[in-house]
Amino acid sequence: MSTITRDTQVFDLIKREHQRQLHGIELIASENFVSEQVMEATGSVLTNKYAEGLPGKRYYGGCEVVDELEQLAIDRLKELFGLTWANVQPHSGAQANTAVFLACLEPGDKILGFDLSHGGHLSHGSKVNISGKYFEPHFYGVEKETGLIDWDKVEQKALAEKPKMIICGASAYSRDWDYERLRNIADKIGAILLADISHPAGLIAKGLLNDPFDHCHIVTTTTHKTLRGTRGGVIMMRNDFDNPFGKKTMKGAIRSMSSLLDSGVFPGTQGGPLEHAIAGKAVAFGEALTDQYADYVKQVQKNANVMANEFVKLGYKVISGGTDNHLALIDLRPKGITGKLAENTLIKADITVNKNMVPFDEAKAMVTSGMRVGAAAMTTRGLKEDDFVRMVGLVDKVLTNNDNDAVIASVRGEINEWMKDYPLFQ
């Protein structure tokens, strides 16, 4: 039998990406570095197995082992957040949200989400996403003066529109959420309350932020941000309940919400689950149950707070004035530069951020007036508060000398030397 020739093109590119990650500073709030065992599980022979259905209820043979594996991931996730039910099959956070919409909504139903341009997420009703194409989206946002959500105005909007679902959660909002208030609002109009905790999930798991599970009917999250696992998504409930839509089983009984959500994933929006990714999730959930992980997310929160405060000290406008979680959104207009310029210039110094719209932004989405920064990835590499002070100083040095190649090259050299002492996962 002939051997397969090694694909040097692909593996050379993988090597280059590894070097890029190793030598630079990663400040994108939605990224993190996984442990070797998470990578090992994700790159395992489990990628060979097809397993449509749920553990014990598959449409393919040979699923005995992956049944145990997927159940282990479910059990660990339930322990991590104190749940009665979870589905670990969604391929991403957006897939998890889409499955929830399919289970709970009919085309044309009203939804009320956090405005994308104010820090919300694409899958919460944006017109370019299925959530905004198949349903009637309405939005709430932050106050221009404070950068904070006014919960009274959210209630006014909900009472006026009476959406079937209220969505809370964000991709670029640095403050905590009042889930109890939102549930009271949802109950007044008979709406389902969905929390997407994709960004702060790890901090919530360890009690550092408000707990959505006792107030929100359904909770979704990605698994690769502060949870520090394989890229993917999950759907969760602390308490299962009879669905309020009157949908019944073949035998005439009212279907539980968990049953509807399971069907929203498969066969509703996905086919066979990625069992290799689920294995990576299981490993990450196991890591998140440890005391070491608790120490990690506490450090993430400390580092993010220092980072936000340091930007303020250097004259940057941080939306809402600071952060409660792992990220900060920075309005660059007072500095006279765009998010696009900041992102492209910092890349030259091996500092990675993402341009981001800020509330009431007048710039186009591919330009933006702001940038988003997060502390999760560099905390994984072992950096502490003083390191983040230094890091912000280097960011400022590059941005204030964005037309000076010599200064940028000098910062890049300093960063490359600095990062030699920090592996990707510490």
Q: Using omega within 30 degrees of 0 as the cis cutoff, is the peptide bond preceding 267 cis?
A: yes
Those residues with Cβ within 8 angstroms of residue 55's Cβ, 6 or more apart along the chain or in another chain = 63, 66, 67, 68, 70, 71, 74
Distance CA 409, CA 426 (A): 27
Residue with the two structure tokens 């640095």: 174
Catalytic choice (231, 281, 372, 412) = 231
Task: Choose among 49, 70, 46: nearest CA to 61.
Answer: 49
| Active-site residue flag, 225 | yes
DSSP state of 289: T
235: β partners: 87, 220
Catalytic choice (49, 58, 183, 225) = 225
* Residue 194 assigned as binding residue: no
Phi, then psi, of 177 in degrees rounded to 5: -115, 145
Query: DSSP strand E in 203-357: where?
Result: 218-222, 233-237, 317-318, 327-331, 351-352, 354-356
| Active-site residue flag, 16 | no
- Decide if 268 contacts 102 (C-beta within 8 A): yes
Task: Choose among 35, 26, 70, 30: nearest CA to 288.
Answer: 35
* Residue 122 assigned as binding residue: yes
- Decide if 230 contacts 224 (C-beta within 8 A): yes
Catalytic choice (42, 220, 221, 222) = 222
Catalytic choice (52, 178, 180, 240) = 52
Those residues with Cβ within 8 angstroms of residue 406's Cβ, 6 or more apart along the chain or in another chain = none
Distance CA 57, CA 337 (A): 55
Distance CA 366, CA 340 (A): 7
197: β partners: none
Catalytic choice (26, 70, 155, 196) = 196
* Residue 23 assigned as binding residue: no
Distances (CA, A) of 160 to 168, 216, 241: 18, 21, 27
Distance CA 127, CA 142 (A): 19
* Residue 118 assigned as binding residue: no
| Active-site residue flag, 196 | yes
Those residues with Cβ within 8 angstroms of residue 45's Cβ, 6 or more apart along the chain or in another chain = none
List residues forming the annotated binding site for (6S)-5,6,7,8-tetrahydrofolate.
116, 120-122
The catalytic residue positions are 50, 52, 196, 222, 225, 231
